[in-house]
Structure 1
Amino acid sequence: MSHPEVKKAVLAYSGGLDTSIILSWLQNTYDCEVVTFTADLGQGDEVEDARAKAKAGGVSSIYIEDLREEFVRDYVFPMFRANAIYEGEYLLGTSIARPLIAKRMIEIANAEGANAVSHGATGKGNDQVRFELGFYALKPDVKVIAPWREWDLVSREDMLNYAKAHNIPVERKREGSKSPYSMDANLLHISYEGYDLEDPWCEPSEEMWRWSVSPENAPNEAEYIELGYRGGDIVSINGVAMTPAQVLTELNRVGGKHGIGRIDIVENRFVGMKSRGCYETPGGTIMLKAHRAIESITVDREAAHLKDELMPRYAKMIYNGYWFAPERIMLQQAIDYTQATVNGDVRLKLYKGSVQVVGRRSDQSLFDERLCTFEDDQGAYDQKDAGGFIKLNALRLRMNNVTGVLK
């Protein structure tokens, strides 16, 4: 598919060194107007100076938007209804943020009459795929500019030289304040890659972690919290109604306090390589445990088992960037159908890095104490029926008679 000449481009802009250089490079290489977009997804101080830096870079159309509520409500919560987890450990904190950024960039491109979009993801990572699959799904004829796949800047020294040659200010952080890691943060998690983590045998230093205390230094007293659910989503904590972003913010606070949510993994990137990363997801770790608990009493057995079978495929779709693909949307509709009865409360015990479910209740619970009691069930269940059930299920095993092959 051919692309028209670039007249205006929307850039995903953080105000850091990389995107500041990309802004100048786009202006010089493509001779186009650049619109910057900075999404506040809960990453903290990163968004504060973006407007001033964009203005200094000659940008007239600057978008800085607080998307925290939309992020949790429309992306994080639907993902947790599926209990999604990639390769058994990763709660998809970076992956789930990319489709929202891509969607908003395309909306801005349409509003601004821009025919191109640009991002700062490298040619080795997953984010280039996630961004661009989102772009193309929402605007098939858009021109995508990925500078890391085009320019000849291959090192930090090259970038600093470019910045100097083009009068791009380089922030000098206070001694000791700069992290050596490549980090990405939003309300769901913070990730760490690079530096000494490139050796999978090297244990990360305690100083690396930002959101949580170590389990060893967590309080010696356990803390109990109660989460209220409606339609599969958390709507209250300890009886206090909260918005989606407020829920996740509070769970991050209390989870981090108790050393919850740290993982150190080697994952398989979509582009083919293995990558070692460390993640802090305190709120998400609590959410996953609690959601499975409320589902355990409100979702039918076969529906729950089918969800578990589909979940790895669903998680892989999100990890690989297929949020807007028809198969993900189809699965989401099936998952959401199961959540109509996922209402009630879960009580959790938080202690030194662990999350323990200690109670669950629902007006729509399928748990019937009369059926499972070890005491007199007053005729609710006829145990004699189990004999016929077992014999019917054993019929094919008796017909096969595998005794002769078991040696």
Structure 2
Amino acid sequence: MAKFKKVLLAYSGGLDTSIIIPWLKEHYDGCEVIAMAADVGQEAELEGLNEKAIATGASKLYIEDLQKEFVEDYIFPTLKAGAVYENKYLLGTSFARPIIGKRLVEIAKKEGCDAIAHGCTGKGNDQVRFELAVKAFAPNMPIIAPWRTWEFKSRDDEIDYAIAHNIPLKITRETNYSKDKNLWHLSHEGLDLEDPANEPKYDEILEMGVSPEKAPDKATYVTIHFEKGIPTALDGVEMDGVSLIKKLNKLGGENGIGLADIVENRLVGMKSRGVYETPGGAILYHAHEVLETICLDKETQHYKQQIALKFADIVYNGQWFTPLREALSAFVDATQETVTGDVKLKLYKGNMINAGVTSPYTLYSEEFASFGEDDVYDQNDSAGFINLFGLPIKVKALLDEQRGQNK
């Protein structure tokens, strides 16, 4: 193995990174290991993390509060784009990795580290997302990915190692789901979920909310105000992005909103099954889409939907720090200049029901759309429009008839 004197580890305190600290010291001749935990809204998971990191061999732990930057520079640009991966996944893990990778490089340079390590598996997407971020800011930085080289073949093997090294774990073999939590979402993978035939045990695994069956019988109304595509207020109360998402997580979770059971196509080529909780995010995506229906013209709205597909792929694939993502964000920002207004939703047992939308930039005219009498639209004009619009169809039909007569 290569010789490294000081390694910076992306640290969460979960199973993988808990055992990586002693493993690195064993396999890299007692190298110094500095840990960095990114606070992207995982809350209780950060409790006791410093003591645990030091106890398992780290020389120090950085806990970096990235929540504000995470929301403003990663979540909201993706929300404005309307980017959804494979129709369901709201990219909760995907856009958290670039910001963490960027801060890893900043601390590695500050500490004079000669390598960066992470606990991502060789089968997952996160290894790509972390490493592309590192390459964007430290192209020559060596990266250690123990899952691609170490002796462990399963999470059971990791648990055995943790027990042997007296490393405390918050999980058991029976609750050993692979989870990722941040301000935006919580993902669940592994165990019984690896078989798509199994219904998720929602009553056992949900942490951000309840299943629709256990949601209240009474609906909850919420009004979200957007300024240029960015949510800025709930029910008339202005809020910063972090607080707003937390509030919507509570409202959405209580009403069974934002559950997604997905078999998705991973970047590395295989399909995987995961259950995602994104209560606040689901509400924001729905509300933003509703507002765009009255603020964007048809051509812009339809073209933006095409852009959203590519934007989602870019985020999912870890290509945040690329010229194309920046260019697409510039296009998205231009479309959001008039996406300002209020969206009222009724939350009820997993459903988000439209309850009204207004905007000072609305393109909807009741006068033009009315079925009643009006003085702004001459319905006779539609005959000429249809004749021109249908001309290619008519010409082909006429020529087909002629060719049929000539046979």
Partner of 2:54 in structure 1? 55
Match of 2:212 among 178, 192, 215: 215
Once residues 306 and 292 of structure 1 are traced to their aligned partners in structure 2, the CA distance between those partners, rounded to angstroms, is 14
2:169 corresponds to which residue? 171
TM-superposed CA distance for 1:28, in Å, is 2.6
Residue from 17, 20, 23 that aligns with 2:21? 23
Offset of 1:6 from its aligned partner? 2.8
Q: CA deviation at 1:385?
A: 2.3
Q: CA deviation at 1:160?
A: 4.1
1:298 maps to what in 2?
295
Select 1:194's aligned residue among 176, 181, 190: 190
Percent of pairs with identical residues: 49
Query: What is the TM-score normalised by the length of structure 2?
Result: 0.93
Residue 390 of structure 2: aligned partner: 394
What is aligned with 1:319? 316
> In 2, distance between residues paired with 1:56 and 1:209?
30
Consecutive unaligned residues in structure 1, runs of 5 or more:
none
One-letter amino acid of the structure 2 residue matched with residue 138 of structure 1: F
**Residue aligned with 1:229, SS:** strand
Matches within 5 A, 1:111-150: 111-150=110-149
Cross-structure match for 1:286: 283
For residues 30-55 of structure 1, give each alpha carbon's deviation from its aligned partner in whole angstroms, at most 9, with x where no partner exists. Answer: 23322211011112211111111222
Deviations 1:311-356 (A, max 9, x none): 1111111111111121111111101110111111001011111001
1:39·1:101 contact (CA, 8 Å) conserved in 2? yes
Partner of 1:399: helix, strand, or coil? helix
SS of residue in 1 equivalent to 2:251:
helix
Hey, what's the Cα distance between the residues in 2 that align with 1:156 and 1:309? 39
Contact 1:130–1:321 at 8 Å: present in 2 too? Answer: yes
Query: Paired residues, what number?
Result: 400
Using the alignment, how far apart are the partners of 1:229 and 1:268 within structure 2?
32
Contact 1:23 1:34 in 2 (8 A): yes
**Residue of structure 1 equivalent to 2:353:** 356
Q: Which residue of the partner structure matches residue 8 of structure 1?
A: 6
Alpha-carbon shift at residue 157 of structure 1 (Å): 4.6
Which whole-Å CA distance do the structure 1 matches of 2:52 and 2:175 have between them? 21
Contact 1:265 1:277 in 2 (8 A): yes
Secondary structure of 1:52's counterpart equals helix
2-structure distance, mates of 1:161, 1:225: 48
Q: Which residue in the other structure is 2:153 paired with?
A: 154
8 A Cα contact 1:17 1:170, kept in partner: no
In structure 2, relative to structure 1, the CA distance for the partners of 1:16 and 1:180 (3 Å cut) is closer
Give the one of 346, 349, 369 matched to 2:366.
369
Distance 1:315 1:21 in 2: 33
| Residues 172, 43 of structure 1: alpha-carbon distance in 2 compared, 3 angstrom cutoff | closer
1:308 aligns with 2:302: no
Cα offset, 1:141, TM superposition: 0.7
Residue 161 of structure 1: CA displacement? Answer: 4.5
* Larger mean Cα displacement after TM superposition, 16-25 or 331-340: 16-25
For residues 47-103 of structure 1, give each alpha carbon's deviation from its aligned partner in whole angstroms, at most 9, with x where no partner exists: 111111222234334210222221111111110101111111111111111111111
Alignment correspondent of 1:93: 92
What CA distance in whole angstroms lies between the structure 1 residues aligned with 2:160 and 2:285?
46
Distance 1:140 1:33 in 2: 22
RMSD (CA atoms):
2.1
Secondary structure at the counterpart of residue 234 of structure 1: strand
Contact 1:15 1:49 in 2 (8 A): no
Instruction: Tell me how far 1:5 sits from its aligned partner.
Output: 5.0
Is 1:346 aligned to residue 343 of structure 2?
Answer: yes
- Any gaps of 5 or more consecutive residues in structure 2? none
The alignment partner of 2:390 has SS state of helix
User: Is the 1:91–1:284 contact (alpha carbons within 8 Å) kept by the matching residues of 2?
Assistant: yes
**Which residue number corresponds to residue 250 of structure 2?**
253
Distance 1:6 1:244, change over 3 A: same
**Alignment correspondent of 1:329:** 326
Alignment match, 1:240:
237
Aligned partners of 2:206 and 2:263: how far apart in 1?
Answer: 18
| Residue aligning to 1:227 | 224
Distance 1:95 1:214, change over 3 A: same
Query: Residue 83 of structure 1 corresponds to which residue in structure 2?
Result: 82
For the 8 Å contact 2:21–2:57, the answer to whether it is kept is: no
